A and B are shown apart, each in its own frame.
Chain A
Amino acid sequence: MLLWLLSSSLESESGFADVQNWLAAPLVKVVVWGILAGLLYHLIAGVKHLAMDMGIGETLEGAKTGAKLVVVISVIAIVLAGVWLW
């Protein structure tokens, strides 16, 4: 999906315009939002993993707060992505 958008947007002026039109369609926005949501959550949880690899937040309490933080930050990021798309 993302490769398709990239390919079309780089191909030509009209390809770029096509992508802009596609992105205007509500259904496409929902799909892109879904992809972004998954990616944002994965990214944020991944950063937490990297932190834990460095020894940050490895205790039971640390892990709990880490998990809550990931969820809260992810929700905020995903909502912002929605605002950006709409």
Chain B
Amino acid sequence: MVKNVTSFGRSGVSEWVVQRVSAAILGLYFVGLLAYMLLSPELSYAEWKALFSATWMRLASIAALLALCAHAWIGMWTVATDYLTEGLLGPKGTFIRFLFQAACVLLIFVYLVWGVQILWGL
């Protein structure tokens, strides 16, 4: 059994819930944004900027960004603990998984900070 160190809790129940909730948030956000883009063919800068300056859109975008971080982390953790194991890779398996997960955390952190900076800096 993999030493399942996740960031939320002992049992996987909280991950299971967070994965679905974040998926729903991301699904709504993506479909909504896609619909907006499809329905405004000649999108102007002013219109695009106004959309992202609106408070409700900023909050929705921050929520989607946070949901993405959680969703991506749980997803990548799931993949890593399935494949990057000592069973498959031998004794160094856990170390490789650790590196992989550390890289994921770093990348997610970069996207979070960058995203907030984009939305914040408007």
Q: Do the beta carbons of A53 and B20 come within 8 Å of each other?
A: yes
Q: Do the beta carbons of B23 and A3 come within 8 Å of each other?
A: no
- Complex: chain B residue closest to A13, CB-CB: B45
| Complex-state Cα separation, A50 to B16, whole angstroms | 11
Q: Taking the complex as formed, is A39 at the interface, i.e. its CB lies under 8 A from any CB of chain B?
A: yes
Residue-wise, chain B 28-55 has the 8 Å CB interface mask toward A (1 for contact) of: 0011000000100000010011001000
Q: Do the beta carbons of A39 and B30 come within 8 Å of each other?
A: yes
Q: Do the beta carbons of A7 and B30 come within 8 Å of each other?
A: no
Number of A residues contacting the other chain (C-beta, 8 Å)? 17
Q: Do the beta carbons of B118 and A16 come within 8 Å of each other?
A: no
For residue A10, give the distance in angstroms from its CB to the closest CB of chain B.
6
Q: Do the beta carbons of A3 and B114 come within 8 Å of each other?
A: yes
Give chain A residues whose Cβ lies under 8 Å from the Cβ of B30.
39, 43
Q: Taking the complex as formed, is B1 at the interface, i.e. its CB lies under 8 A from any CB of chain A?
A: no
Q: Taking the complex as formed, is A6 at the interface, i.e. its CB lies under 8 A from any CB of chain B?
A: yes
Q: A10-B52, A13-B45 are in contact. Are A50 and B24 (CB under 8 A)?
A: yes
Q: Do the beta carbons of A46 and B27 come within 8 Å of each other?
A: yes
Q: A3-B111, A16-B48, A84-B38 are in contact. Are A50 and B118 (CB under 8 A)?
A: no
Q: Do the beta carbons of A50 and B23 come within 8 Å of each other?
A: yes
Residue-wise, chain B 81-122 has the 8 Å CB interface mask toward A (1 for contact) of: 000000000000000000000000000000100110010001
Q: Which 8 A-B residue pairs are closest in the complex by CB-CB distance?
A: A16-B45, A7-B118, A13-B45, A46-B23, A3-B114, A10-B52, A43-B27, A6-B118
* Interface residues of B, Cβ cutoff 8 Å to A: 20, 23-24, 27, 30-31, 38, 45, 48-49, 52, 111, 114-115, 118, 122
* Interface residues of A, Cβ cutoff 8 Å to B: 3, 6-7, 9-10, 12-13, 16-17, 39, 43, 46-47, 49-50, 53, 84
10 A–B contacts, CB within 8 A, in A order: A3-B111, A10-B49, A12-B45, A13-B45, A16-B45, A16-B48, A39-B30, A46-B27, A49-B23, A53-B20
